[in-house]
Chain A
C-alpha cells in the first residue's frame, strides 16, 4: 500500500480548531490534535475546510456519442477539480444508456479513468422514446448496479408509463429521476415564460409545465409507495408542490442546479445561447425561493446538470443552440456565493446538500460519509477565502460553455481525495 498521509491543521465542516487527519489504506485512520504521523507523507492544511467528497446526481458526460463535447475522462477531470468524488452520468448518450451493455461500458470507462466514481444512470424508457420501459432490472443487476433511472432531457410524460416505472423500480430499490416538463406545454419553448421572453420574442416555457408534472408524479409516487427524485427544480411553484408532498410523507427528493440558484432570465437580453438551458433560467423570485428551499431541506441537494456542448452548438442563433451549461468545476463556488456567503447555509449544510443527501438518494454507498475514524478517506479540502475568475477555456471540460465566464467566484478546491488517493490538487488532476 501507499504511504500514509497526514493532513495537518484542517477544519472538518469548517468548525472548531484545526485538527490533523491521518489517512492509511484509503481510510481515515486517526483524527485529532497534533497527531504523530511518523513515517507519513505530510500535507499542511493551514486551516482549510474539509468536507466529504462531493456527489453529483446529474451530469452529462457525453460518452458514448458526443466525444467532441466531453468524454468520461475529461468529465471526470472536471469533476475531480470541482471537488467531486462521484458523478451520476445521465443516460441520453448515443447509444442511449438503456441496456446493461451500455451502462457497464460507462461504468468501466469511469473506473479505468479512476478520478471519480462514475455511476451510470439508466434510461427509464427504451431509446428515451417514452413508449415502453427499458430493461431496468438488467441494468440494476449489471456490474454498474444502476439504482437511478432517468430519461433526463426528456420527460416521462405518459402518466401510466410513469406509474409503472415508479412501481417497478421500487422492486429494484431504486429511484426514478424525473425531468419534469409537460411537452405539450413547452412545444417550441425557448425561454422562461415571462416579461423578458415576451419582449425578446422567445416562445415561453411556462412554470406550470414543470409544476404540473411534479404534482402528478408526487401523487403517483404516493400511491406506488415509490421513490421519486425531481431533477433541476426551477420554479417557486415547484417548491410549494414539494413542500406539500413532503409534509404528507411522500418519498420525493429534489435537486437544484447552481445556475438556477444564481442566474435569471435577465441574462437573455443579448441572445447569447450560453444562457440557454432546460429548464430555462427563471426570475429573481424563483432563485430566492430555490435558495430558501435548499436551506430548509425542501430541495434536498445541489446537482450540476453539467451539459457540455461543442462550440458550433452554442455559437449560433438562440433557437438553433442546444440547451445546457458546464457545471462541475463551478458548482461549489456558486453554492458558496449564493448560500454560504449570504448565511443561508453553513459548511455542514454544504456537506449535506452536495455530498450526504445526493449519495443517499443515488444509493452511492461509501460516498457522502462522515469525516470520522474508520470512514473512507473520500474528502476534499477547500480554501474558503480564495476566489477565482472563471474562464471556460481553462476548465477541464472539452467544451467551454460556462455561463459564469469572467465572474469572480469565492472558494477554491485545493485537494480532492478518493478513498485515500489524491485525484486533484491545486488545480491539477493527478493519476
Chain B
C-alpha cells in the first residue's frame, strides 16, 4: 500500500489486513504501562490540516507517537497557508524536508489525490471535502467487528446527511467491500442524486438500498450509524427545521427500542446531542461511540505501519 486515499479502491484482503493489524496492536498494548512501540523510530509523519479537527488529528498524532514516529502538526491557521501558499507548494516543501508520510485534511474533495500526484511521500487522507475519510470507515469497521463478530451479511443503516458526508462515502464503500448490506435513510434532499437507482442497474454507483422512514428500517438493522448534521445544511433549505429533522431522523429512546437486541449505535462525532441523537442514547451501552474513538488510534497505527514499516509484498 502506497497511500490511503479512499476506501473505494481498498481490496477486501488489504482492508482485512489493516483491521487485523489494528486488533493485534490493540492486544499488544493492552495493560501496558508504557505504550510505546519502536516500529516507526526515525520516521517523520506530518499532519497537515486545513480544517478544524480535534479527534482525528489528535488520534493520528497519538498513533504516530505510540509507534515512536516523529509527528509534526501543521494547521492552516498558523502556517504559510494563510500567506497564500498553494497546497502544491506546501506539499513540495514538506517533501523536501523529508516527511515520510503526510496526513492531510482539506475542504476540497480530491485534495489527497492531488497531493499524491505531486509528491512521492506516503499520503493518508484524513478527510477531503465530502469525498472520503477512510480511517473513519476503518475504525467504524473495527468497532463493528468487535461488537458483531463479522460484517459479512450484516445490515448497516446510515442515517442523515449522506449527500455531504465523507464519513458516509468511505463507510459505504468499505462496508460493501467487507460484505455488509448498506441501507441509507435520509430525506431525499440529503441523498446523492439518483442514488435510489444505483443498486438496480449496471452502474458505477453503490449497490445500496434507500429509504426515508427510519422507524421502518431499524428492526432489520444490525448497526445504525448516525451522521452529524452540519449547521450550514440547516440554513440551506435541505429540510424545513432542526426540529422537524430531529423528529423524523433523530435517534430517540423510542427508536432505540425498535433495534434488535444486539444492534450497535455509531456516531463519528462530534455529536449534536438532542439533534441527531438523544442524550441518553449516546450514553447508552448500545452506543459504541467511545470504542470508535479508541479503535481510531489502533486503526491509524495500523495504517501508518502498513505504509511505513511493512515490507514490499505485504499488504
Q: Name A's B-contacting residues (CB within 8 A).
A: 190, 193-204, 206, 270-272, 312, 315-320
What is the minimal beta-carbon distance from B158 to any residue of chain A, in angstroms? 14
Q: A271 is contacted by which of B109, B198, B203 (Cβ under 8 Å)? A: B109
Question: Could you pull out 5 A-B pairs where Cβ atoms are within 8 angstroms?
Answer: A193-B193, A198-B194, A202-B109, A204-B193, A320-B108
What is the minimal beta-carbon distance from A140 to any residue of chain B, in angstroms? 42
Do A195 and B204 have beta carbons less than 8 Å apart? yes
By beta carbon, the residue of chain A nearest B166 is A201
By beta carbon, the residue of chain B nearest A266 is B204
Tell me which of B125-133, B139-147, B211-219, B258-266 binds A.
B125-133
Q: A195 is contacted by which of B113, B114, B117, B203 (Cβ under 8 Å)? A: B203
What is the minimal beta-carbon distance from B278 to any residue of chain A, in angstroms? 29
Q: How far is the CA of A174 from the CA of B194 in the complex (A)?
A: 41
**Residue B220 lies at the interface, judged by CB distance under 8 Å to chain A:** no
What is the minimal beta-carbon distance from B46 to any residue of chain A, in angstroms? 18
Q: Which residues of A are found within 8 Å of B130, using beta-carbon distances?
A: 201, 203
Q: How far is the CA of A271 from the CA of B194 in the complex (A)?
A: 22
What is the minimal beta-carbon distance from B153 to any residue of chain A, in angstroms? 24
By beta carbon, the residue of chain B nearest A192 is B193
By beta carbon, the residue of chain B nearest A270 is B113
Do A194 and B194 have beta carbons less than 8 Å apart? yes
Q: Which residues of A are found within 8 Å of B108, using beta-carbon distances?
A: 317-320
Within 8 A of A (CB), among B226-241: none
What is the minimal beta-carbon distance from B293 to any residue of chain A, in angstroms? 24
Do A200 and B110 have beta carbons less than 8 Å apart? yes
Q: How far is the CA of A199 from the CA of B128 in the complex (A)?
A: 12
**Residue B65 lies at the interface, judged by CB distance under 8 Å to chain A:** no
Do B110 and A318 have beta carbons less than 8 Å apart? yes
Q: How far is the CA of A195 from the CA of B113 in the complex (A)?
A: 19
Do A317 and B87 have beta carbons less than 8 Å apart? yes
Q: Which residues of B are found within 8 Å of A272, using beta-carbon distances?
A: 117
Q: How far is the CA of A198 from the CA of B205 in the complex (A)?
A: 9
Do B109 and A318 have beta carbons less than 8 Å apart? yes
**Residue B169 lies at the interface, judged by CB distance under 8 Å to chain A:** yes
Q: How far is the CA of A203 from the CA of B238 in the complex (A)?
A: 14
What is the minimal beta-carbon distance from A311 to any residue of chain B, in angstroms? 10
Q: A199 is contacted by which of B106, B111, B129, B169 (Cβ under 8 Å)? A: B169
Do A317 and B205 have beta carbons less than 8 Å apart? no
Q: B88 is contacted by which of A195, A199, A315, A319 (Cβ under 8 Å)? A: A315
Known A195-B204, A270-B117; further 7 A-B contacts with Cβ < 8 A: A198-B195, A201-B131, A201-B132, A316-B88, A317-B110, A318-B114, A319-B107
Q: How far is the CA of A364 from the CA of B203 in the complex (A)?
A: 46
Would you list the 6 A-B pairs with minimal beta carbon distance, nearest first?
A271-B110, A201-B131, A198-B192, A201-B130, A201-B109, A317-B108
Per-residue A-contact encoding for B174-214, CB less than 8 Å = 1, 0 else: 00000000000000000011110010000111100000000
Which of B88, B108, B110 has the most chain A CB within a 10 Å cutoff?
B110
Do B193 and A198 have beta carbons less than 8 Å apart? yes
Q: Which residues of B are found within 8 Å of A200, using beta-carbon distances?
A: 109-110, 131
Q: How far is the CA of A195 from the CA of B204 in the complex (A)?
A: 7
**Residue B314 lies at the interface, judged by CB distance under 8 Å to chain A:** no
By beta carbon, the residue of chain B nearest A317 is B108
Do B203 and A316 have beta carbons less than 8 Å apart? no
**Residue B311 lies at the interface, judged by CB distance under 8 Å to chain A:** no
Known pairs A195-B203, A318-B109; A201 contacts B194 (CB<8 A): no
Do A199 and B204 have beta carbons less than 8 Å apart? yes
**Residue B1 lies at the interface, judged by CB distance under 8 Å to chain A:** no
By beta carbon, the residue of chain B nearest A201 is B131
Q: How far is the CA of A312 from the CA of B85 in the complex (A)?
A: 11
Q: How far is the CA of A99 from the CA of B223 in the complex (A)?
A: 64
Known pairs A194-B194, A271-B109, A317-B114; A201 contacts B128 (CB<8 A): yes
Do B109 and A319 have beta carbons less than 8 Å apart? yes
By beta carbon, the residue of chain A nearest B5 is A271
What is the minimal beta-carbon distance from B70 to any residue of chain A, in angstroms? 27
Q: Which residues of B are found within 8 Å of A201, using beta-carbon distances?
A: 109-110, 128-132, 166, 169
**Residue B81 lies at the interface, judged by CB distance under 8 Å to chain A:** no
By beta carbon, the residue of chain A nearest B131 is A201
By beta carbon, the residue of chain A nearest B109 is A201
Q: Which residues of A are found within 8 Å of B110, using beta-carbon distances?
A: 200-202, 271, 317-318
Do B8 and A199 have beta carbons less than 8 Å apart? yes
What is the minimal beta-carbon distance from B253 to any residue of chain A, in angstroms? 33
By beta carbon, the residue of chain B nearest A190 is B109
